[in-house]
Structures are given as structure tokens and as C-alpha cells.
Structure 1
Amino acid sequence: MAKGDDVEVLEVAGHSVRITNPGKVFFPERGNTKLDLARYYLAVAEPLMAAMGGRPVLLQRFPNGVTGSSFFQKRVTPTKADPWLTTTVVSTPNGTTSNALVAVDLAHVLWAVNMGCLGFHVWPNTAADPAHADELRIDLDPSPGVTFPMIQEAAAETKALLDELGVASLPKTTGNRGIHVYARLLPHWDGYTVRAAAVAVARALERRRPDLLTAAWWKEERGSRVFIDFNQNAPHKTVFGAWSVRANPHAQVSTPFTWDELATIEPRELTIETVPTRLSERGDAWAAMTAQDLAPLLDLHEHDRADGLPDAPWPPVYPKMPGEPPRVQPSRARHE
């Protein structure tokens, strides 16, 4: 590590990465600086790269820390100072393309940190194989009135269903109030197919525990239940990445954990200060994640189709899809 006039230069992955204004406070409530954030990512480098290495990432930049304004940056252009930056072409739902940063190595991560990126929104495919989504991401989203113990119970139900279907899964905190359940997939299916599997999982979970879980896209139909956000698997959709730091006052980390820890996990305790120690003591909770077959979940999808269920609603930024029901709130449709 070299020091200059208000600059720290980190030698990482064969590149010299500048951290300008390293003492700038990014988390005022805790006093953590930009350099503290960079050091955190250095400390979790191995599992971080195992989770998102080689994937395109969307940057949400907070140039003045968590209390300042932020903006999303999808387009990245290598500069004269950093010609080694790697990008790849990604698309939006309407077909617009841009060159997104690829998390090739930790130097790319720290370059983004220097730009004020706290955490990373990650594509479900690698840059080398954009046609295939190799992750199923079950987002257990807390609706108003949902407590974290309810989220934990929802995660347990998700695990039980996937276990019955022979699909191994692993959880992580979202860094806020939810839990994500991931299954690594063989790179054989596109995002449309993986989303169809996610819709089937959401509906199966709702049938098992309608008191706790809902697949209802419209908020007015959810009540105080955990929403299984199947559309996090829609093509071109990014999800907040494992080991990434959230822009909240506590500097919480979206932390992988084991199923044995589900009942005791406390998201507020998982921060940029505590997670490196936890990692050194317990290792990477996702180290055993392996690629699997999506077929059992696609069988669920086919059963739903045979029962006459239409597709679930898509987000409004997507074009109208074949078999999709009308994009009208149920209360409005009844009124009309």
C-alpha cells in the first residue's frame, strides 16, 4: 500500500488501484471511511469473488456516503488512467444496451469502491455466457407488518420445499430486513425459464403456507405476509450481491450463512467490522455451493400450466408477455 497526497494506492490483482480521499467518512453514525470500506472488501476477497467473479455488476454510487444522494451507473468506460477495466454488453428489458463493469477481480471491485460504490447489484449470469442464468434467487421480501422471525420461518419453508425437490439451496441476509435463498444452476437455461421456475416455487410455497407466504404481485393482495418476489429472476434483473455492503447507517453486509444458523442470525450484527472476523472463524458458508439441474422446478411450472394457471405479472418496465394476465390492480379491475 502506497500513500500520497490524500491518496492510498492499493496493489491488487496486478493493478494499482487509487483510493482518493481515503479518510472521507461514508458511514457517519459509525465513523467508517472509504478506506475502511476498501479494507473490508480486501478482507472478504475470496468468497466475494467466488460469488460474483466474472459477472456484470450495476453500481449504485454514494459519492458523499450514505447520508448523501446516490445514483445508479450501468455504463462504464475504461479510462486512460485505468485501461485495464473490463466491461461487457448488457441489455435492459426494452432492449437498450450498455457496457457494464465486470467483476473480473478485486481490483475492479476496489475501483468501484473508489467511485463511491458501497455494494454491488449482480447479474445472474457470467459475462462469458450471457445467454444462460446460472442462479435461482428466491427473494423473501418483508411486506408491511412482517417481522424478521416471519422471514426466518419463510426461509425454512423455502428450504423444506427445495429439499423435497432435490435442489440444494443456501441463504444470505439481504443487508436489510429480508433473506435471499440461492440455488446455483447448471448454465443450461435462459432468464425466462429460470423466472418460470421461480414463479412455480412462489406459488407452491403459497399453497403450503398461505398464512405466511404470498406470491401476489399486487401489494393490496399481500396483507402482512412474506412476499416471494419471483420477478427478481426476470431477464436482465440484478440482485444485491453476497458480501456487498448496504447503504444504511449500520454498514450492514448481505451475508451468506448456513441453514444451521437460520434461527439465530441477526442482520444488524453483520457489518463491515464484524463480518471479516466471522469469515475467518467460520469460513465461507457458500463454499459448498454447486451447479444443479432446474428440471424439478420446471416440473412444478408444467403442473401449474396443466392446471390452467396463467403466467404471473411482470414488472411494468418489461414488454407485455405471452400468457400474462392484465397488468391492472385487482381493485381497479373490479371497479372498471
Structure 2
Amino acid sequence: MSTDDLAIDVDGTEVVISHPGKVFFPERGETKLDLIRFYQSIAEPLLKALQGRPLLLERYPNGAGGKSWFQKRVPKSVPSWLRTTVVATPNGTTSDALVAADLAHILWAVNLGCLGFHVWPYHAATPEFTDELRIDLDPSPGVGFAQVREAAALTKELLDELGIEAHLKTSGSRGLHIYVRLRPEWDGYQVRAGAVALARALERRHPALITAQWWKEERGARVFVDFNQNAPHKTVFGAWCVRPRAGAQVSTPIGWDALAVVRPDELTIATVPAVVAEHGDPWASAGERPQSLEPLLELSRQDLAAGLMDAPWPPVYPKQPGEPPRVAPSRARKP
């Protein structure tokens, strides 16, 4: 340790923080140590959401706005207590990824300049089961947050009709994320099929507001339900995690009653601890009531029986059975 380093005891594990005074978020001058203190202050809800899951690290060693890269593999030289797990890419390449085993693992990554944790939808101990459906409501150009709010409310309305309990969070940027905690019974291909069916059902109900169209040229000024965030091996930005933005915005779980009033840009490392202290963790009991994917799989079966093909997959994935031609409509060869 140098004289500038800070050793933090995390439940008996020492995590050394180098250059704790380095500014990570220029809007208010918040430092690496401020980010450490934030994660310490919300450790309980953070670990309820992330614990045991593999993490993809988004590193900004010089703070938000600086040089960055995504890091799936942990460095070769790591503390002996660090837990990792083998994850795979769509083409089968494997790597050792960090596991959110406890708060020490989170703080260790922050020390490396991690300003974004992207989380796998399964636990490292049971990778065969995808236990989270993640519904990413992504605003297309020309879409405001009011439309994203409306799309979220309509998504909840449909899920309620299907008997599926869902939970809401801000993305930390322009969108909203809706999560469904699932029973450990389905794999990533089945969960994605359910997400495709949900997106298509929402588009049929609300075609002027919501789209399930994968190709950007077909979306228009609508909210896109990004079903491919549920493709196997995909990660989504973690709950309670801080975005690499100058204002240190947090991807914050909120109650459905807060949807009408939430201002995502105001949820930052400076404000979220007080919100949690006052209102608690809106996802606190989510894991106690895992849901069934079967209602969405039934919608998927109905779509396929009606003649619909699978939706397009991202380009990094091998061609899938039942997938339509992977080319934008404007570039497709005309008969």
C-alpha cells in the first residue's frame, strides 16, 4: 500500500482502495471514495438484487467521460478471496467473470474504475436456469420519458392480466426496466421466447405507442420493447448500480406508485441513500415470490401457431431455427 491508499474492512475482508480522492463524476466532483461510500450505504438492497450473479465490468479508470472498456475477464492477479465463474459468449468463447459474492467484490471492482455493473440473468451456482425476465423499454428518437412511463404502465397492465408480478427500476439513463423474478425452471432461450411474445402482444394492443420491431427503420417514434436483452448470455445494467454519467445517476428500483412522479436524472449517489432510508427497498420481497413464465410461453406458442416466425436475433448470435432473414427490410432483396 502507498500512503495514498485506503484499506477498508468489509465484514473481515480487506479491500485496498487506491487514489480514493480521484474524481469520478465531474458534475458535483464526486470521487472514487464517494462511490465506495454510496455502495456501502445501500449494500443490503444491492446484494439482494445482485448477489451470486456474474458481472460484466464497465471500466472508466479516469472517471465518467474518460477512456472506457467492457471487461468480462477478471485480471490474472487478483486477491485469493475473489470469486469468479465461467461465462460464455454466443459463439462459445469462455472467460472467468467476477461474481457479486458480497460487498467486498463490488468495492474491489470499483477500485479498478468500474462505473457500471452489467448483470447476468442467472446465478453462478445454477447457470442452467435463467431466473429473471428483463423488459427493457427503450425510447426511439423522438420519444420522451412521458411515453416511456405510459409504456411501463401498459406493460404492467398486461402482466397483471397474465398473473405475473413485475418490478420496476429506472435504467439510469433514458429508459425504464421491468423485471420478473422467475422460478428456476426455464433456460435463456425460453425466457427470450417469452419476451418476444410479450413485446408482440404489447405492440398489437398499443401500436401507436409501443413497437416490437427489431430493425430501427421500422420502429418510428415509439417505445421499443427490447426482447433481445433476454437472449442467452446477454447482460443488463444492474439494479442500484451507478451509471458512468457526469451526474452519477443510479439505476434505481422504484415502486409502481412512484412511476408517475419519478425523475430519473435526480436519482444519483447524492440522493438515493436518503430515498432508501425513507422508503426502503421496493424490491425487498421480490425473491420470495418467483413467477411462472408459462403465460408468456403460451402467447409464444399461439404466435407460432398463427404463422409468425421467431424475431431477429442480434448479429453476434448464430442463426437460429425459425429466425427470419437477418437483414434490414430496406436492404432485403426484392422479388
Could you say which TM-score interval applies, normalised by the shorter chain? over 0.9
Partner of 1:139, secondary structure, is strand
The code of the aligned residue for 2:314 comes to P
Which residue is equivalent to 1:238? 235
The code of the aligned residue for 1:213 comes to I
Give 1:314 shift.
0.1
Which residue is equivalent to 1:127? 124
Partner of 1:260, secondary structure, is helix
**Partner Cα separation in structure 1 for residue 11 and residue 262 of structure 2:** 33
Give 1:335 shift.
4.9
Which residue is equivalent to 1:11? 9
Which residue is equivalent to 1:294? 293
* 1:170 and 1:181 in contact (8 A); partners too: yes
Give 1:84 shift.
0.6
Residue 79 (1) aligns with residue 85 (2):
no
User: After superposition, where does 1:17-28 map in structure 2 within 5 Å?
Assistant: 17-28=15-26
Which residue is equivalent to 1:315? 314
Give 1:334 shift.
5.2
* 1:13 and 1:105 in contact (8 A); partners too: no
For structure 1, list consecutive stretches of 5 or more residues without a partner in the other structure: none
**Partner Cα separation in structure 2 for residue 311 and residue 143 of structure 1:** 22
Q: TM-score, normalised by structure 1?
A: 0.97
Which residue is equivalent to 1:196? 193
User: After superposition, where does 1:1-336 map in structure 2 within 5 Å?
Assistant: 5-77=3-75, 79=77, 82-289=79-286, 290-333=289-332, 335=334
Q: Which moved more, 1:146-155 or 1:326-335?
A: 326-335
* 1:184 and 1:291 in contact (8 A); partners too: yes
* 1:213 and 1:225 in contact (8 A); partners too: yes
Give 1:30 shift.
1.1
Deviation by residue 1:167-211 (Cα, 9 ceiling, x = unmatched): 000110000010000000001100000000000000000001000
Give 1:97 shift.
0.2
Deviation by residue 1:257-301 (Cα, 9 ceiling, x = unmatched): 000011000001100010001001000011121211111111111
Deviation by residue 1:145-167 (Cα, 9 ceiling, x = unmatched): 01000000000010000000000
**Partner Cα separation in structure 2 for residue 197 and residue 122 of structure 1:** 20
Q: TM-score, normalised by structure 2?
A: 0.98
* 2:22 and 2:32 in contact (8 A); partners too: yes
Report the aligned-residue RMSD. Answer: 1.1
Number of paired residues?
A: 333
Give 1:233 shift.
0.3
Partner of 1:59, secondary structure, is strand
The code of the aligned residue for 2:178 comes to V
**Partner Cα separation in structure 2 for residue 78 and residue 69 of structure 1:** 21
Give 1:250 shift.
1.0
**Partner Cα separation in structure 1 for residue 195 and residue 211 of structure 2:** 13
Deviation by residue 1:120-166 (Cα, 9 ceiling, x = unmatched): 00000000000110000000001100100000000001000000000
**Partner Cα separation in structure 2 for residue 123 and residue 248 of structure 1:** 22
The code of the aligned residue for 1:264 comes to V
* 1:77 and 1:99 in contact (8 A); partners too: no
**Partner Cα separation in structure 2 for residue 259 and residue 281 of structure 1:** 16
**Partner Cα separation in structure 1 for residue 259 and residue 133 of structure 2:** 19
* 1:64 and 1:116 in contact (8 A); partners too: yes
For structure 2, list consecutive stretches of 5 or more residues without a partner in the other structure: none
Give 1:78 shift.
6.1
Deviation by residue 1:212-233 (Cα, 9 ceiling, x = unmatched): 0000000000000000000000
**Partner Cα separation in structure 2 for residue 148 and residue 9 of structure 1:** 42
